[in-house]
């Protein structure tokens, strides 16, 4: 069914019927997504070929004051279930596991495509959710779940789809990198640097997520699955956080011209057709002129090594509301375009 010219909005922008979008979550990322959808409405309509209509925003607490400038207040609801049954695309940025999983499953079942930024959900239940999406002929995407706007999932699953990836190494957690960088470059004692990162709000509500490498483990599991199509789980990750490090470790590193970085890694042995994959997260000594050593403060960097392409490096901010929203919005526009194309 084609509805060309139904709603002309300047030139040919947004000629088709609106693509209906529900947003689950209005925290830092959700608010950035909602604001961008308002501010870029005309641009997105041009890019998609139809306007995007934000039909509702689910929040936990309607009473909580929030900055959603430009958003109609009656779009807010505390009943997320009411939003997932009758839309084209659901964006899940509420976090958590059980409720998110249930809502995404319901959304897919009701015919929606889904964007999520929920890395623990994808690491723990991504295989089932993708199987559900595939069975229903729907699409589930989650570029934002791994190092925010740094488009490493696009590169691993699309750009390198004709290549054979050998390994992926990365600094994929900004909070621990901030701590390690503060110690290495500014000489701040380790415990003080941890305290400082907490005070600046760089650590997750549960700081063990960052400090014990759980966040990094989720990301490397997702990357390994996409790179080799293997069912790696969080239990497979050889994981060591940074809490066991001491100032003596940092001094010893400095003495040998090295720095300590928390490196997440996934390496293939065996052939690409029958890969065996090792995944790990651990503090690692790197030479002071290595690109990882030059990855400062909260920055992330991923190095992907492939048979044909050789070594590719990607870096940028691995966290932040706007940065994460960039990836969510990229997935949103891609899904919306595909839905509009499928109307013809």
* Residues assigned a catalytic role: 219
CB proximity list for 12: less than 8 A, separation 6 or greater: 46, 49
Q: Which is nearer to its own copies, 218 or 325 (CB)?
A: 325
How far apart, in whole angstroms, are the C-alpha atoms of residue 149 and residue 144?
Answer: 6
Q: Which is nearer to its own copies, 47 or 106 (CB)?
A: 47
Interface residues toward its own copies, by CB under 8 A: 32, 36, 40, 42-44, 46-47, 143, 148-151, 154-155, 158-164, 272-273, 291, 294, 306-317, 320, 322-323, 325-334, 337
Q: Which is nearer to its own copies, 149 or 242 (CB)?
A: 149
E-only strand ranges, the chain: 19-24, 52-58, 76-77, 89-92, 113-116, 140-141, 165-171, 238-239, 258-269, 276-287, 299-306, 310-317
Name the nearest CA neighbour of 84 among 62, 100, 103.
Answer: 103
Residues facing residue 264 across a β-bridge: 170, 281
In the three-class reduction of DSSP (H, G, I as helix; E, B as strand; rest coil), residue 289 is classed as: coil
**End-to-end Cα distance, the chain:** 6
The CB-of-89 to its own copies minimum distance in angstroms stands at 12
Name the nearest CA neighbour of 111 among 90, 80, 129, 93.
Answer: 90
The CB-of-13 to its own copies minimum distance in angstroms stands at 8
Q: Are 93 and 25 in contact (CB under 8 A)?
A: yes
In the three-class reduction of DSSP (H, G, I as helix; E, B as strand; rest coil), residue 79 is classed as: coil
The CB-of-261 to its own copies minimum distance in angstroms stands at 17
The CB-of-323 to its own copies minimum distance in angstroms stands at 6
The CB-of-52 to its own copies minimum distance in angstroms stands at 10
Q: Which is nearer to its own copies, 1 or 273 (CB)?
A: 273
The 3-state DSSP composition of the chain as helix, strand, coil percent (nearest 5) reads 40, 20, 35
277, 279, 285, 288 alpha-carbon torsion, rounded to 10°: 80
Q: Which is nearer to its own copies, 101 or 326 (CB)?
A: 326
The CB-of-42 to its own copies minimum distance in angstroms stands at 6
Name the nearest CA neighbour of 228 among 169, 171, 269, 281.
Answer: 269
């Amino acid at each position: 069914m084609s509805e060309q010219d139904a709603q002309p909005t300047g030139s040919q922008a947004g000629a088709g019927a609106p693509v209906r979008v529900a947003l689950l979550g209005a925290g830092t990322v959700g608010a950035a997504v909602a604001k961008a959808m308002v501010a870029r409405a005309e641009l997105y309509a041009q890019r998609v070929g139809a306007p995007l209509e934000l039909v509702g925003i689910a929040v936990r607490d309607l009473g909580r004051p929030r900055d959603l400038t430009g958003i109609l207040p009656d779009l807010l609801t505390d009943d997320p279930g009411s939003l997932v049954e009758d839309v084209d695309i659901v964006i899940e940025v509420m976090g958590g596991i059980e409720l998110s999983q249930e809502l995404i499953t319901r959304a897919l079942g009701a015919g929606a495509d889904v964007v999520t930024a929920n890395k623990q959900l994808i690491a723990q239940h991504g295989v089932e959710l993708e199987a559900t999406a595939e069975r229903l002929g729907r699409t589930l995407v989650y570029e934002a779940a791994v190092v925010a706007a740094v488009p490493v999932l696009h590169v691993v699953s699309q750009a390198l789809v004709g290549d054979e990836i050998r390994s992926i190494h990365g600094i994929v957690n900004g909070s621990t990198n901030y701590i390690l960088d503060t110690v290495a470059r500014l000489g701040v004692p380790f415990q003080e640097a941890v305290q400082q990162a907490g005070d600046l709000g760089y650590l997750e509500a549960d700081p063990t997520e960052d400090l014990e490498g759980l966040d990094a483990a989720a990301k490397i599991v997702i990357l390994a699955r996409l790179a080799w199509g293997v069912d790696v789980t969080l239990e497979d990750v050889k994981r060591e956080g940074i809490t066991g490090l001491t100032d003596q470790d940092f001094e010893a590193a400095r003495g040998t011209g090295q720095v300590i970085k928390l490196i997440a890694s996934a390496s293939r042995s065996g052939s690409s057709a029958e890969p065996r994959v090792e995944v790990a997260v651990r503090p690692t000594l790197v030479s002071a002129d290595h690109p990882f050593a030059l990855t400062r403060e909260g920055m992330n960097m991923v190095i992907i090594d492939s048979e044909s392409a050789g070594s590719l490096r990607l870096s940028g901010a691995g966290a932040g509301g706007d940065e994460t929203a960039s990836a969510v919005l990229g997935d949103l526009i891609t899904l919306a375009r595909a839905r509009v194309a499928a109307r013809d």
